[in-house]
Amino acid sequence: MLSMEFQLTQTEENYLKSIYSLEISNSKNVSTTMLAKKMKTKASSVTDMIKKLADKDLVDYEKYKGVSLTNLGKTNAVKIVRKHRLWEVFLVNKLDYNWDEVHEIAEQLEHIKSISLIDRLDKYLEFPTHDPHGDPIPDKDGNIEHHKNVMLSSIQIGDSCVVIGVKDSSSSFLKFLDNSNIRLGSAIKINSIEDFDNSMNIESNNISFSISNQISKNLFVKKS
Amino acid sequence: MLSMEFQLTQTEENYLKSIYSLEISNSKNVSTTMLAKKMKTKASSVTDMIKKLADKDLVDYEKYKGVSLTNLGKTNAVKIVRKHRLWEVFLVNKLDYNWDEVHEIAEQLEHIKSISLIDRLDKYLEFPTHDPHGDPIPDKDGNIEHHKNVMLSSIQIGDSCVVIGVKDSSSSFLKFLDNSNIRLGSAIKINSIEDFDNSMNIESNNISFSISNQISKNLFVKKS
DNA sequence: CATTATTTTTAGACAAGTTTAAATTTTTAT
DNA sequence: ATAAAAATTTAAACTTGTCTAAAAATAATG
């Protein structure tokens, strides 16, 4: 059983969260430079912090080889993800925020320290399984269902699918989706694909229009 | 019109809040030592911070004379008080916390930065006027109704009153009140007062019992 | 008033997290 | 395989907020 006598600082929590998300999308060790870009800081700062995290057994680190989360590090990262996503649900479902407005506020709320708070919030929200962007919410014990990562861009001509999540949660992307009436649960049919730029002609809500490859690579879908 | 180009740090916000509450209960300038005790830090640290706050026009400060909030400082302090109390209402009314459990969590939540969040929370909670301890909640524009500060200890024998707030919000005091079935809105009649220690024999919920002066000095009441 | 006692401020130091600039290691490309 | 490029680490310094210890100012006491 892994124990934790110490409190993580907000900065440490942010590093763990970033490493976690980079590990998921990259599978191999997370490099100093990648982490620096994600954290909007300098590589040298990252090196310093990584050493601190390694001292606390939150990451495995070997000089010049990048980092990966230990079990303890992953446990902590998932806790923060859980908090972030539950707060996003709160903001959208209870305070009527739009899905493009909640990320920044949740970035702050995810660091609130309280043993009971997040489980009470979970109950209050009636145990949601996904956040407003379709990302799965880890349960109390840290179990999390992972996306099968089927992107709209990999769907064949003539096939239909349903939007189940977004990869990019930036405000600009989400606003584009709003304007196109694409939301979680939207049904999409692929009418054709341009050889030139892989842009897709799709049909959604009985309207046909074209979306760029950049867009279709950022939409998680389930075939239907 | 007072402008604010800068963001306050969490520490600065806590100093402002402490100065604000000490100003209310003491009327004159807040001394370095008082502030150090309230902030659980050393007088030398307080002196340093006070200078920073004075540089930002948040407090008026003269060496050896203590501090007082400027209008800008008070505006900011009241904003934090508003956030703190609204979050307390949320925790008690929505997440079913007891009134003795919410202070510490609200201490963290009050520092969340978002222009819209607190007003949306206010609306969601249906514009409450008082927090779970009976303290008034400042409105959007910073207006706050002040207690007339009538303590139970100043009520005469034979008179009746209603509990409208607590001065001490410590968990131990609030738990004592819970055990005595005293809550906001409870009616209390003074049956007698001991000359020796000013303890009171009171009647509440048709039960008679004795409370110490320490207790009666910490209950805000309204004569009835 | 003079002398203690208390309060407040200053000076120097520390920890966390950051930065810049230089040095080192690894990777890439000829 | 070796030189150039890119990535990574180290070293020194800065910022914020803190502390200890000592100095200075104010308040309290006889």
The DSSP element (H or E) to which A47 belongs, if any, is helix A43-55
- pLDDT, mean over chain A: 94
Q: How does strand A67-69 pair with strand B200-204?
A: unpaired
Closest to B187 (Cα-Cα) out of B151, B163, B207: B163
How far apart CA B45 and CA B11 sit, in angstroms, is 12
How far apart CA B183 and CA A99 sit, in angstroms, is 40
CA of A185 to C1' of C3 (A): 83
Q: How many domains does chain B have?
A: 2
How far apart CA A118 and CA A178 sit, in angstroms, is 29
Averaged pLDDT, A10-34: 93
Q: Please, are residues A20 and A79 in contact by the beta-carbon 8 Å criterion?
A: no
Q: Please, are residues A67 and A59 in contact by the beta-carbon 8 Å criterion?
A: yes
Domain boundary among A52, A69, A86: A69
- Residue B6 has what pLDDT? 73
Q: Please, are residues B199 and B210 in contact by the beta-carbon 8 Å criterion?
A: yes
Question: What are residue A64's DSSP bridge partners?
Answer: none
Closest to B73 (Cα-Cα) out of B121, B18, B32: B18
How far apart CA A141 and CA A143 sit, in angstroms, is 6
How far apart CA A79 and CA A17 sit, in angstroms, is 9
Checking if the pLDDT of A1 tops 50, the result is no
The DSSP element (H or E) to which B203 belongs, if any, is strand B200-204
Q: Is residue B160 part of a domain?
A: yes
CA distances from A170 to A49, A100, A103, A166 (A): 27, 7, 8, 10
Cβ-based contacts of B117 with chain A (< 8 Å): 91, 95, 105
Hey, is A83 helix, strand or coil? helix
The one-digit pLDDT tens for each residue of chain B (224 residues) are: 445 667 899 999 999 999 999 999 887 899 999 999 999 999 999 999 999 999 999 999 999 999 999 999 999 999 999 999 999 999 999 999 999 999 999 999 999 999 899 999 999 999 999 999 999 999 999 999 886 779 999 999 999 999 999 999 999 999 999 999 999 999 999 999 999 999 999 999 999 999 999 999 999 999 98
**Nearest residue of B to residue A94, measured between CA atoms:** B124
Q: Is residue A187 part of a domain?
A: yes
Sheet hosting strand A160-166, strand order edge to edge: A207-211, A200-204, A187-193, A160-166, A219-223
Hey, is A217 helix, strand or coil? coil
Domain boundary among A18, A47, A69: A69
Residue B208, number of CB atoms within 10 A of its CB: 11
CA distances from A21 to A13, A76, A106, A116 (A): 12, 13, 16, 25
CA of B44 to C1' of C10 (A): 9
Angle formed by the axes of helices B10-26 and B71-89, to 10°? Answer: 100
Q: Is residue B196 part of a domain?
A: yes
CA distances from B164 to A195, B151, B153, B222 (A): 73, 10, 14, 7
Range of the domain at B45: 10-69
- Residue A25 has what pLDDT? 85
**pLDDT tens sequence across A83-94:** 999 999 999 999
Q: Is residue A39 part of a domain?
A: yes
Selecting from B105, B121, B124 the residue whose C-beta is nearest the C-beta of A112 gives: B105
Q: Please, are residues A213 and A198 in contact by the beta-carbon 8 Å criterion?
A: yes
Checking if the pLDDT of A142 tops 90, the result is yes
Hey, is A148 helix, strand or coil? coil
Interface of B with A in 65-104 (CB under 8 A): 91, 94-97, 104
How far apart CA A80 and CA A86 sit, in angstroms, is 10
- Which domain CATH number covers A58? 1.10.10.10
Per CA to C1' distance, which residue is closest to D6?
Answer: A33
- Residue A224 has what pLDDT? 87
Most distant CA pair in chain B, distance: 57
Alpha-carbon distance B134 to nearest alpha carbon in chain A (angstroms):
22
- Which domain CATH number covers A200? 2.30.30.90
The alpha carbons of chain B give a radius of gyration, in whole angstroms, of 19
**pLDDT tens sequence across A173-188:** 999 999 999 999 999 9
Structure tokens at A179: 């304007």
Averaged pLDDT, A174-203: 95
Checking if the pLDDT of A3 tops 60, the result is no
Hey, is B205 helix, strand or coil? coil
Q: Is residue A62 part of a domain?
A: yes
A125 interfaces chain B, CB cutoff of 8 Å? no
**pLDDT tens sequence across B137-177:** 999 999 998 867 799 999 999 999 999 999 999 999 999 99
Give me the helices (H) in A90-151, please. 103-109, 117-124
Selecting from B113, B116, B124 the residue whose C-beta is nearest the C-beta of A94 gives: B124
B154 alpha-carbon distance from chain centroid: 20
Domain boundary among B36, B54, B69: B69
